[in-house]
Amino acid sequence: MTTALPIPPPSLGLLALEARAALELAGLVPLVPALRTAPRGDGHPVLVLPGFLTDDASTRALRWFLRDRGYHVHGWRLGRNLGPSTRTVDGLLRRFQALVERHGAGISLVGWSLGGLYARELARAFPDVVRQVITLASPFRDVSATTVQRLASLGLGPRPRGSYQAWLERLREPLPVPTTAIFSRTDGICAWQSCVEEPGPQRENVEVRTSHCGMGHHAATLLVIADRLAQPKGAWRPFVPRGLHALPLLRATCA
């Protein structure tokens, strides 16, 4: 899927629709019985990384679900995600290395929005340790294609250390591990075109119908994540929608 850069950010209309994230969280409760039909995993460790301006509280529902499916799930424990500062980068490396010492190789990474960019960088640096990467509405193709970019003009946007241009170019490069990019065309924060992979071996794009702020606790997203994580180690296959994904509320499609 080739998209010319730069990509425009989502419209103000889509941004306004982000208010539905609260309804998506409330709607998770009646769907708990359906979520518990998702495949159980093999217990391998999963590190979940939050989005910009959020913390581990934002991924609580996601982590509960994965823990219920049998995984060793970990939050990042670095407080609010204020961007890739030296403090954040160094702290995340320490956290990741501590998990490697505890569990060994085979850690899956799930990153929401900016957290997905961190997940991609960890996988690029430690491909022998990372089992797979799942990004949720993460704008790795063009980080400027977001409404957050408006905050950058006020000095509030993410500021990676080192060469900013080199960082942007590296983010777009394919990863050496299996990668699933989950995105929504109704995302009001990140342009969906900035959140998808180019076609290639061991990488895929899966579309769900959610808001950006609700993606990490939407039942459709959780079911896709469970399907991806449950694959046997070393036997990754592209996502195939089945079962509950046929229902309108839980629909997920390959892109």
Cα dihedral 168/128/182/166 (nearest 10): 0
Q: How much of the chain, in percent, has pLDDT values that exceed 70?
A: 92
pLDDT: is 6 or 1 the higher one?
Answer: 6
Q: Which helix (H) or strand (E) holds 48?
A: strand 45-49
pLDDT: is 93 or 242 the higher one?
Answer: 93
pLDDT beyond 70 at 175: yes
Q: What is the pLDDT of residues 35-86, one digit of tens each?
A: 999 999 999 999 999 999 999 999 999 999 999 999 999 999 999 999 888 9
pLDDT beyond 50 at 153: no
Task: Provide the terminal-to-terminal Cα distance of the chain, rounded to the nearest Å.
Answer: 9
pLDDT beyond 60 at 87: yes
For 157, the token pair is 């946007």
Domains and CATH numbers, the chain: 12-229+239-254 (3.40.50.1820)
pLDDT beyond 50 at 218: yes
Q: What pLDDT is recorded for position 67? A: 98
Q: List strands edge to edge, sheet with 203-208.
A: 72-74, 45-49, 107-112, 130-136, 179-183, 203-208, 252-254
